[in-house]
């Protein structure tokens, strides 16, 4: 039945104790302990292209005049794709070495 009272009811002492008991969380004896916190390294595969893109965007928005030969026939794009491919390959090689 819906309570149309103007004021909420006050919990009793046993209800307050039950609320405290439910809010206390203790780990079980069968649970694994938390692993020690390790410091994360920067993801260079994402950081280097991201920083390069940000610098390139700022340079182009500032109106700097870059040489046209660099952009002809996708030369710049090929260089970026090859660089990203090499970076991904190197990151996978490092991961494989860490797993051993």
Beta carbons of 49 and 84 less than 8 angstroms apart: yes
Give the Cα separation of 45 and 84 in Å (integer): 8
Name the residue ranges covered by the structural domains of the chain: 66-100
What pLDDT is attached to residue 51? 82
- 8-38 pLDDT, tens digit per residue, is 777 788 888 888 877 777 777 787 877 787 8
Give the predicted TM-score (pTM) of the model: 0.37
- 33-67 pLDDT, tens digit per residue, is 777 878 777 777 777 877 888 887 788 788 877 77
Residue 87 CB neighbour total at 10 angstroms = 16
């Amino acid at each position: 039945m819906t309570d149309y009272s103007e004021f909420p009811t006050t919990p009793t002492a046993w209800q307050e104790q039950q609320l405290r008991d439910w809010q206390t969380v203790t780990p079980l004896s069968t649970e694994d302990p938390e692993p020690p916190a390790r410091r994360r390294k920067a993801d260079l595969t994402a950081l280097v292209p991201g920083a390069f893109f940000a610098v390139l965007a700022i340079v182009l928005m500032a109106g700097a005049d870059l040489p046209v030969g660099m952009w002809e026939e996708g030369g710049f794009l090929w260089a970026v794709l090859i660089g990203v491919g090499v970076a991904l390959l190197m990151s996978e090689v490092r991961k494989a070495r860490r797993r051993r």
